[in-house]
Amino acid sequence: MNYRSYAGGMPLGKDYTGQYCSLARALEVVGERWTLLILRDAFFGVRRFGDFAAHLGVPRAVLSDRLGSLTAAGVLTGAPGRHGHTEYVLTSKGLELWPVIRTLLDWGDEHYSAAGPRRVFRHGADDAPVTTGGVCTGCGQDVPVTDLVVAPGPGLAETGATDPVTTALATPHRMLAPLHA
Ligand SMILES: [Zn+2]
């Protein structure tokens, strides 16, 4: 391993040169601070810069940089939306990251959310819970992310936030369905 990237508190960057492990290559794309949170929000249906910014509280310059990197990496596409905003949407390459994000979410709930999961994931077809591995506990199907509904869980604390993302996710919401019609 090469730990130079941690020297002086530098963020993970493009400095895995010489690392041929595929994990290092993957971290070049998703290993920077905020990136996985941006992708999580994209799975929730967030598409607009302003919505990412309002929900995450990420500095706008950082958000701009991350959206640019993810678009350059082919994880997101950015295209003009109907209302003149650029809309960032997950590509098929980006959609493949869902199991990674789901696993990290559940790991975080397990170890850092004593009150239980902050959000739960259900099969849209029968409303049964879907396991970390993506299997419906009702019908036994492997459920693609497009057929998942995210709903508030017992560990979801009331934050008082009124941004459009928090508001949309206060009730069950189909994954990837845009927050704005
Ligand atoms: Zn099912």
- Tokens representing 131 are 């396991």
**Residue 44 alpha carbon to ligand 1 centre in Å:** 20
The CA 151 to ligand 1 mean position distance, Å, reads 15
pLDDT under 50: residue ranges of the chain: 1-10, 12
What are the DSSP calls for 98-152, one per residue? Answer: HHHHHHHHHHHHHHH-TT--SEEEEETTT--BB-TTSBBTTT--B--GGGEEEEE
- Give me ligand 1 centre to Cα 154, in Å: 21
Predicted pLDDT of residue 10 = 47
Q: Is residue 147 a contact partner of residue 125, using CB atoms and an 8 Å limit?
A: yes
Q: Compute, in angstroms, the gap from residue 148 CA to the centroid of ligand 1.
A: 10
Distances (CA, A) of 163 to 47, 93, 160: 14, 28, 9
Return the CATH number of 32-96, one of 2.60.40.10, 3.30.70.20, 1.10.10.10, 3.90.550.10.
Answer: 1.10.10.10
96 C-alpha vs ligand 1 centroid, how far in Å? 20
Q: What is the pLDDT of residues 63-110, one digit of tens each?
A: 999 999 999 999 999 999 877 889 999 999 999 999 999 999 999 999
For residue 6, the model assigns a pLDDT of 42
User: Domain extents for the chain?
Assistant: 1-31, 32-96, 97-174
What pLDDT score was predicted for residue 98? 98
Q: How many CB atoms lie within 10 A of CB 138?
A: 15
Give residue 153 CA to ligand 1 midpoint distance, Å: 18
Structure confidence at residue 133 (pLDDT): 96
- pLDDT for 81 equals 84
What is the reported pLDDT for 19? 72
Q: What is the pTM of this model?
A: 0.88
